[in-house]
């Protein structure tokens, strides 16, 4: 883009002349993630309009050739595809779900990439669909630096036809963009599931660090031992999902470890943490699940049997 392009003003004519037939796209919200999304679309040659509450955050995108819409109404009107990436669904609702914007929805594809809950996605899907738009609700399983790269993962839920029609647009955002089903809450549900898995590992790491520090073991040593045992943990996670899916809870000759084996080692960890005055509340939570399973007679079952004891009151 030349220097003159940096000073583009709001004009559909500019879009028509310079970008030809590629779908026009609006990105609402140009924070860290929204800027990365808009930047990738520009890089891929899509005519991109942006709008952000704090206007100066759109300056770097304007320098890359984005049109900066002067108002949110005009931003929505500008494009057939509207990607939203603000901090939460409450912000999206305040910005878009009103009569003025609602009347401009017919025929548009709304792609909500803000993080939220499955019920929030279902409620939004109903609102946009009632006004004649196609609604895709997605989650970004990556940090902004992955956007536009082959490793960028985005999961989208909603009408398959809208996903297929605009596949090229989504591929510009990341090499691993998948449609995970028509039910609009599925992407957010998967997001929460994968984050639960991630936080298990991250908070587990905090406990491991606290144990090592209290026992004066250098963290370099922890790093070495963790990388050696990581494949074992990966194998246990895969096995847990597989056995739960098949309902194979009773220990058999393929069982890798029973609940009782984990329970014994967990008692050692709890004793160490108590003696070193490390906060054991998270581990107490794990122990409570094991106690429920034990009370129901499952102590010697496969570890996967614990999956039946997460429901409160069981
Ligand atoms: P961010 O840099 O803090 O940007 C937040 C954006 O939301 C800004 O554009 C902000 O506008 C806008 N916003 C907030 N409240 C608003 C309101 N009431 N009205 C209008 N605009 C409002 O956050 P981010 O990292 O880009 O994250 C954005 C979304 O992506 C979040 O849902 C996040 O969970 C998701 N996400 C982020 C990452 C990541 O690694 N960053 C990864 C996966 C998913 P102003 O500039 O005016 O404040």
Q: pTM of the entire structure?
A: 0.89
Residue 51's pLDDT is what?
Answer: 98
C-alpha neighbours within 13 Å on the C-beta side of residue 262:
23
- Report whether pLDDT(11) > 80: no
CB 65, CB 42: distance < 8 Å: yes
CB 68, CB 78: distance < 8 Å: no
Question: Helices 89-96 and 118-130 meet at what angle, rounded to 10?
Answer: 10
Nearest CA to ligand 1 atom 19: 91
CB 158, CB 149: distance < 8 Å: no
Nearest CA to ligand 1 atom 46: 54
CA 115 to ligand 1: nearest atom: 32
Q: Is the CB of 34 under 6 A from ligand 1?
A: yes
Q: Is the CB of 87 under 6 A from ligand 1?
A: yes
Distance 93 CA to ligand 1 centre (A): 14
Per-residue pLDDT tens over the stretch 234-269: 999 999 999 999 999 999 999 999 999 999 999 999
**Average pLDDT value for residue range 224-241:** 96
Distance 248 CA to ligand 1 centre (A): 42
Longest dimension (CA), the chain: 75
Q: Is the CB of 52 under 6 A from ligand 1?
A: yes
Per-residue pLDDT tens over the stretch 122-146: 999 999 999 999 999 999 999 999 9
Q: Is the CB of 31 under 6 A from ligand 1?
A: yes
6 against 213, higher pLDDT = 213
Give the Cα separation of 133 and 127 in Å (integer). 9
**Average pLDDT value for residue range 276-301:** 97
Give the Cα separation of 192 and 115 in Å (integer). 10
CA 116 to ligand 1: nearest atom: 32
Strand partners, 27: 50, 83
Q: Is the CB of 93 under 6 A from ligand 1?
A: no
Q: Is the CB of 314 under 6 A from ligand 1?
A: no
- Report whether pLDDT(1) > 90: no
The model's confidence at residue 21, banded by pLDDT at 50, 70 and 90, is confident
Q: Is the CB of 174 under 6 A from ligand 1?
A: no
Q: Is the CB of 56 under 6 A from ligand 1?
A: no
Q: Is the CB of 143 under 6 A from ligand 1?
A: yes
Residue 20's pLDDT is what?
Answer: 52
The model's confidence at residue 225, banded by pLDDT at 50, 70 and 90, is very high
Q: Is the CB of 95 under 6 A from ligand 1?
A: yes
Residue 312's pLDDT is what?
Answer: 76
Distance 18 CA to ligand 1 centre (A): 30
Q: Is the CB of 33 under 6 A from ligand 1?
A: yes
Distance 88 CA to ligand 1 centre (A): 7
């Amino acid at each position: 883009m030349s220097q003159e392009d940096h000073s583009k003003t709001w004009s559909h004519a500019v879009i028509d002349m310079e970008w030809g037939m590629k779908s026009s796209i609006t990105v609402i919200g140009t924070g860290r993630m929204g800027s990365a999304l808009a930047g990738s679309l520009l890089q891929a040659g899509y005519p991109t309009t942006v709008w952000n509450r704090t206007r100066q955050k759109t300056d770097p995108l304007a320098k890359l050739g984005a049109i900066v819409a002067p108002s949110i109404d005009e931003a929505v009107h500008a494009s057939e595809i509207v990607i939203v990436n603000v901090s939460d669904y409450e912000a999206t609702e305040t910005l878009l779900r009103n009569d003025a914007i609602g009347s401009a929805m017919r025929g548009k594809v709304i792609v909500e990439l803000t993080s939220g809950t499955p019920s929030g996605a279902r409620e939004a899907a109903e609102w946009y669909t009632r006004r004649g738009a196609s609604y895709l609700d997605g989650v970004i399983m990556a940090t902004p630096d992955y956007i536009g790269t082959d490793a960028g993962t985005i999961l989208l839920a909603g009408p398959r036809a809208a996903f297929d029609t605009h596949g090229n647009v989504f591929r510009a955002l990341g090499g691993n963009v998948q449609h995970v089903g028509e039910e609009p809450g599925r992407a957010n549900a998967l997001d929460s599931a994968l984050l639960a898995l991630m936080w298990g590992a991250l908070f587990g790491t905090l406990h491991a660090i606290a144990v090592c520090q209290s026992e004066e073991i250098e963290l370099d040593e922890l790093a070495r031992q963790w990388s050696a045992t990581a494949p074992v943990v990966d194998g246990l996670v895969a096995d847990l999902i597989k056995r739960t899916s098949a309902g194979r809870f009773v220990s058999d000759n393929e069982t890798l470890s029973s609940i009782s084996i984990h329970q014994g080692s967990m008692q050692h960890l709890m004793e160490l943490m108590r003696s070193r005055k490390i906060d054991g509340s998270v581990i107490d939570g794990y122990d409570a699940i094991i106690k429920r399973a034990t009370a129901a007679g499952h102590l010697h079952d496969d570890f996967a049997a614990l999956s039946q004891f997460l429901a409160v009151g069981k």
